[in-house]
Amino acid sequence: LSPSNGTASTALTNYLDTQYFGEIIIGSPAQMFNVVFDTGSANLWVPSQSCSPLYTACFTHNRYDASKSLTHIHNGTGFSIQYASGNVRGFLSEDIVGGIPVVQVFAEATALPAVPFIFAKFDGVLGMGYPDMAIDGITPVFDRIMSQDVLKEQVFSVYYSRDPQRIPGGQLLLGGTESKYYTGTFNYVHTKGEGKWEVTMKGVSVGMETLFCTEGCTAMIDTGSSFITGPASSVSVLMRTIGAVELAEGEYTVNCDLVMSLPIVAFHLGGQAYPLTQEDYILRFGEDICTVTFRALDIPPPTGPVWILGANFIARYYTKFDRRNNRIGFAQAA
């Protein structure tokens, strides 16, 4: 993250269109980590040198070694965070983070469950959510950067490529938008104003019919999720409508020969429809396995019920997260 004309850009790696992450450095001398820049959470954590080697997932990732950093400041407060796909426990530390030097309180993870972190191609997570979402009331990285007044705009934009071979696999741009990653203009939707990257969705349509969320519902725009998730009741009907079969818990596949005949699924946000074609919501693993990138996921109140629009949505719609105006902008991704 090196600020130039009031913006700072980080290239992202795209792993199989399902994981997108970029590099940050922590401490002096610099220790490098791959992290997901995650709008669904608001804390920074990386695996810790003091994570027991019994946790295979720690063993197979870069670990922060406090004893090797001259700028490390001890904290030691307990930390635990819950994601839809797994949770992480550890303790707090403080050190210099990133190219834009911010002194940041972050968590050293000492308990990293093998499922799912053994599948993570990244080491840790850098939450890009609002401060209200931050565990232990820690000021998030982006808030610390905003308070340095180095950014042209108090926004950040996310490009996720739709082809794992494409270089770069994506981009996080702090302070503005990158014109080469979108076409047309931005349509904006205001956040629900509860300190989350959440908006009111007006409906989910399959083909010409609005079948779900017909009375309105909540959608989280989540750069940390691979897929689109929705309430199990809606997603199971959606899957039956497109002829998908449930493979594992909440996971669906379709016969690859039928992919061409699949309907358009559209998400109605802020007076605009955001359609996904079968190319956008089918992942082809090899010749004959076509998985649907919608997952059934019931998130209990008060957080849920909520639809989560993840990487496969963002790959189609270049997304601008606007903290100045508490709104999210979408444009056709290039």
Ligand X SMILES: CCc1nc(N)nc(N)c1-c1ccc2c(c1)N(CCCOC)[C@H](c1ccccc1)CC2
User: Residue 222 interacts with ligand X (CB under 6 A)?
Assistant: yes
Q: How far is the CB of 8 from ligand X (least distance, A)?
A: 20
Catalytic residue among 17, 95, 123, 222: 222
Question: Rounded CA gap, 28 and 16, in Å?
Answer: 33
Stretch that binds ligand X, among 79-87, 140-148, 201-209, 254-262 (CB under 6 A): 79-87
Nearer to ligand X, 176 or 224 (CB): 224
User: Residue 134 interacts with ligand X (CB under 6 A)?
Assistant: no
Q: How many residues make contact with ligand X (CB under 6 A)?
A: 20
User: Residue 19 interacts with ligand X (CB under 6 A)?
Assistant: yes
- Alpha carbon dihedral 333, 186, 218, 307, in 10-degree steps, equals 0
Determine whether 38 is an active site residue.
yes
Stretch that binds ligand X, among 84-92, 130-138, 262-270, 290-298 (CB under 6 A): 84-92
Contacts of range 256-260, beta carbons closer than 8 Å, 24 or more positions apart: 256/284, 256/287, 256/288, 256/289, 256/290, 259/284, 259/290
User: Residue 312 interacts with ligand X (CB under 6 A)?
Assistant: no
Q: What is the three-class DSSP state of 304?
A: coil
Let me know: does 292 contact 242? Beta carbons within 8 Å: yes
Write down the residue that tokens 């998985």 correspond to.
291
Determine whether 149 is an active site residue.
no
End-to-end CA distance of the chain: 23
Q: H or E stretch including 286?
A: none
Q: How far is the CB of 241 from ligand X (least distance, A)?
A: 25
Please give the residue ranges that form the binding site for ligand X (CB under 6 A). 19-20, 36, 38, 40-41, 83-86, 116-117, 119-120, 125, 222, 224-226, 311
Residues classed as catalytic: 38, 222
